[in-house]
Amino acid sequence: MAELRGVGIGLGVARGPVARMAEPLPPPSDAPSTLSADEESARVKDAVAAVARELEQRGAQAGGAAQDVLEAQAMMAEDPSLADEVATRLAQGKTGEFAVFDAFASFRDQLTALGGYLGERAADLDDVAQRVIARLRGEPAPGVPDPGHPFVLVAKDLAPADTALLDLDKVLALITTEGGPTSHTAILAREKSIVAIVGAADAASLREGETVIVDAAAGVVTTEPTPDELERAQHRAEDRASASSAPITDGALADGTPVPLLANLGKPEAAADAVALGAEGVGLFRTEFLFLSSAQAPTVEQQRESYTQLLSAFPGKKVVVRVLDAGADKPLAFLNDAHEENPALGLRGIRALRASEDILREQLTALAEADAATRRMPGGAADLWVMAPMVATVEEAVYFTDLARDYGIKTAGVMVEVPSSALLADRILSYTDFASIGTNDLTQYTMAADRLLGSVASLQDPWHPAVLRLIREVGDAGRINRKPVGICGEAAADPLLAVVLVGLGATSLSMAPTALADVRATLLQHTLDDARVIAEAALAANDAASARTAAQAAATR
C-alpha cells in the first residue's frame, strides 16, 4: 500500500475504482483564420450564447449554492469586456478559438496574480473558456466520465458545472490534485456530503480503474489497499451509516459520563431541526444575524422577540447566547467602521462592544427580558447562559461578567479564543460562571494563520498540539474552579477530536446539528479514562497530522 495526502472534506470514507476526468483540450494554435472577422465574430457569438444557456440550465437544475456559481459562469461567457477583447483579436485575423482562449487567458492571469481565493476562481474561468472552445470546434465539452459503474472521481479540480450535476449514485468519492479548502469542489462536496479530498497533488499518478480507499477524516488516499484495509474501510462506512440512523440518546461516554451535545445556531427558526437531530440545547447562538445588513442596531423589542422565540424552543434546556461578535470576517458598520490593516487583530468582539457600550447594554436588556418572559413555560424555562466573544484579558472577563449580572443574567461567561485567555483561564474562571472555547479562532490566533486565507489553510488545524495544550489549560482551570468548559467550533464536530477534547477537560460539545449523530456514536465507544489516554497521545505529537494519527492509534488499541 501507499498513501497520498490532501485536505479531507468531511468525515466520510469510501472505496472504489478510479475514473479520471477528461484532460483539458490542448490550447488552440495561433494560425491566421481563413474566415473574415465578421464570420468569426458570428461563430463566437453563437458559441458563447449556447454555453451561457447551457450553464444557466444546469444551474436551474442544480439549485442552491451551485446555481449562483453557474449563473456567474454564464455571465462570464457573455461578458462585455471579454467581447471587446475577443473583437480586438478577431480584427487582427485570429481564429475564434484562439481569440477566446487568449482573451480569457488575459483575465485568468490577472486573477492568478491576485492569488488566494481569487486565484482559485481562475478555475471557473478556465472551465468557461474550455466549454466555448469545445463548442467552436464541435467537440463535446470536457467533463465527468461515465465508466458504467460507481467510481472514485479523480480530477485536477472540478468545475462548478461538473460538481453541481454529479450523479451521487455513481460517484463514490472525489479526489482533486489542485484546489484548496475554499475551492468550489470543497464547498459543494461539503454541501452534498460527498467524501472528498482536495489538493492531493500526487493523485495525478493514480491509474484508471485501480482501487483506492478515500479517507476524508484523515485526508489520506490509500492505493493498493490490502483486503484487510478494504474491509476496515467498508466497516467504517457502514458504522457511519448506522450511526446516523441510531436512536437518539443524550451524549455520554461508554462509562456513562454525560457529555451534553449542543447545537450551534444562527437563527431561532433552526431550533426545531436541531431538536430533531438530538441537540440537548444550544451551545452557541450567534446573535450577529439580527444585526447584519443593517445600518443600525435592532431595537430592544425586536431582539427580545427573537430571543423569546429561541428560548421557547428549548424548555428545560441550556441555551448559550453569545453577545454580538462583530469585526474581522463579520463587519458591522455601526460598531466598527474604521479601516484596519489587520482586522482579526483589531477592534472586534468584546472590544468593539465596550467601545459602543449602549449596544451591549441593550442586548443584555433584551436577553434578560426574554428570559423573564419565558420563565413560566410548560416543561420549564430554558436555562439562559450569556457569553462574551474574543475575551483576551482577565479584566475584560470581569467587566463583562459584572455587567451581565447587573442586568440579571444568572449565568455569565466568556469565550476562550485567544491564547492569552486560555493561559489565564484559571483566573478568568474564578470570576465567570463558565468558559466556552471557540476552536476556529483559537487555532487562528495560536498558529498566526488567517482562517479565511487558503494559502495558510494547512496551519488552520485544531489538531495541532499547540492548540490542544491551550485547551488542556482551560480544561484544567475548569476542574480546579468546578466550572463548566464547553467547546463550540468545528473541532467538536470531528468525532475523534471530540473524544480528545473531552479527555482534555471539556464538559460539553456544541456543533452544527448535522454532526451530532457521528459524535454521539463515537463518544459511546470510549470511557473517560480512554479519552484521557487518547488526548495524551495527541498532546505528545509534534504536529497536527501526527496528533491525529496518534489519537487514532490510541483509540483503536
Count residues near other proteins (CB under 8 A): 32
- Site residues for other proteins, 310-369, by CB under 8 A, read 329-331, 333, 337, 339-340, 343
- Count of Cβ atoms closer than 10 Å to residue 15 Cβ: 23
The whole-angstrom separation of Cα 198 and Cα 178 is 7
Taking phi first (over 0 means left), then psi (-120 to 50 degrees means alpha), and beta for anything else, what does residue 323 get? beta
In DSSP terms, 320 is beta-bridged to 385
Assess contact for 335 and 326: CB atoms under 8 A: yes
- End-to-end Cα separation, the chain, in angstroms: 22
What grid cell was written down for 225?
489497499
At its nearest, how many Å lie between other proteins and the CB of residue 75? Answer: 4
What grid cell was written down for 173?
468519492
**Binds other proteins by CB under 8 A, chosen from 20, 43, 121, 318:** 121
Nearer to other proteins, 180 or 475 (CB): 180
The three-point CA angle 280-281-285 to 5° equals 150
**Binds other proteins by CB under 8 A, chosen from 29, 34, 245, 293:** 293
At its nearest, how many Å lie between other proteins and the CB of residue 95? Answer: 21
Site membership for other proteins, residue 553 (CB under 8 A): no
- Site residues for other proteins, 441-460, by CB under 8 A, read 452
Query: Residue holding cell 421557547?
Result: 312
Site membership for other proteins, residue 202 (CB under 8 A): no
At its nearest, how many Å lie between other proteins and the CB of residue 93? Answer: 24
Site membership for other proteins, residue 60 (CB under 8 A): no
Active site includes 488?
Answer: yes
At its nearest, how many Å lie between other proteins and the CB of residue 339? Answer: 6
Helix 357-373 with 394-406: angle, nearest 10 deg:
50
At its nearest, how many Å lie between other proteins and the CB of residue 133? Answer: 16
**For 415, phi and psi rounded to 5 degrees?**
-90, 135
Site membership for other proteins, residue 292 (CB under 8 A): yes
Q: Which residues contact 231 (CB under 8 A, 6 or more apart)?
A: none
The whole-angstrom separation of Cα 282 and Cα 274 is 9
Nearer to other proteins, 70 or 551 (CB): 70
At its nearest, how many Å lie between other proteins and the CB of residue 119? Answer: 10
Active site includes 149?
Answer: no
Nearer to other proteins, 270 or 424 (CB): 270
In DSSP terms, 252 is beta-bridged to 258
- Catalytic positions are 184, 488
Residues in contact with other proteins by the rule CB under 8 A: 68-69, 71-72, 75-76, 79-82, 107, 110-111, 114, 117-118, 121, 124-125, 288-289, 292-293, 329-331, 333, 337, 339-340, 343, 452
